[in-house]
Structure 1
Amino acid sequence: MSLEQGSIVEGIVTGITNFGAFVELPGGQTGLVHISEVAEVYVKDINEFLKVNDKVKVRIISVDPKGKIGLSIKQANPSANRGNRKPKFQPSFEDKLAKFMKESDERLSDLKRQTDSKRGGRGSKF
């Protein structure tokens, strides 16, 4: 079967790696769904989204001359992915910075307390 870029086909997940999933397509060819093409949301662990032997609908996004086939699950079901999953709350940069500064200040004060107790407290002379 000739696979054309842009077509949507159904396949079976045959293998999972930390960078994506291999999907067997009709005709016995295998393509790769990169981890960034699994879902609309950030995917830290692909195993939370896919398992071996899952049937998936994929869009063929590239076919190179060497025969490598690039696939996308999120492009095959764009409306389904957006509707089913609520995006997780993403704190703003300012929120992350404020949290970091607070934790940093706490660690610094703990370190000063420990250092002062080893020296004999404040104001002691050597």
Structure 2
Amino acid sequence: MSIEVGTKVTGKVTGITNFGAFVELEGGKTGLVHISEVADSYVKDIHDILTVGDEVTVKVMNVGDDGKIGLSIRRAIDKPESEKSASSSYSARKPRAAVKKPTFEKPEDFESKMSRFLKDSDERLTTIKRQSESKRGGRGARRG
């Protein structure tokens, strides 16, 4: 039997790496199931789901010109119609975090802007004076 894209076949897990699992298919050919194609949820460690020697049903995702075969376990599982339509429809998806809309305030008048600027400026000058006094060795010390 030739391996064609889109067909479901059974195979045996022959090796596991940190990026996926190698599955031996009919005819002695070997394909790779990437870790992202093992389960529908996030897989931190593939050893939690698969072990060497497991029989798995996989779907052939691609066959490269160099003979590499890409496989998927999660796409080989038939989902009920209600799950398929729910996962593909936009309205059933999780809503994104609410985007905070900018609030427009009444613009400040010149006097309030000026008083805020002077206050900030005084605070910065006071901080700079304190820092420079401590470096000179005391309060009000004069440079030599």
TM-score between both structures, scaled by the size of structure 2:
0.55
User: How big is the shift at 1:2?
Assistant: 1.1
- Higher relative contact order structure (alpha carbons within 8 Å, sequence separation ≥ 6): 1
Count of residue pairs brought into register by the alignment: 85
Larger-gyration structure (1/2): 2
Q: What residue is the counterpart of 2:2 in the other structure?
A: 2
SS at match of 2:11: strand
Q: What residue is the counterpart of 2:89 in the other structure?
A: none
CA distance in 2, matches of 1:2, 1:56: 18
Q: What residue is the counterpart of 1:60 in the other structure?
A: 60
Q: What residue is the counterpart of 1:38 in the other structure?
A: 38
Q: List structure 1 runs of 4+ shifted beyond 4 angstroms.
A: none
CA distance in 1, matches of 2:78, 2:35: 16
CA distance in 2, matches of 1:32, 1:78: 20
CA distance in 2, matches of 1:64, 1:17: 20
User: How big is the shift at 1:79?
Assistant: 2.2
SS at match of 2:15: strand
Q: What residue is the counterpart of 1:115 in the other structure?
A: none
TM-superposition CA deviations, 1:4-55 (whole Å, max 9, x none): 0000000000000000000000000000000000000000000000000000
Q: What residue is the counterpart of 1:50 in the other structure?
A: 50
Q: What residue is the counterpart of 2:11 in the other structure?
A: 11
User: How big is the shift at 1:78?
Assistant: 4.3
SS at match of 2:14: strand
Structure 2, unmatched stretches of 5+, are 84-95, 98-137, 139-144
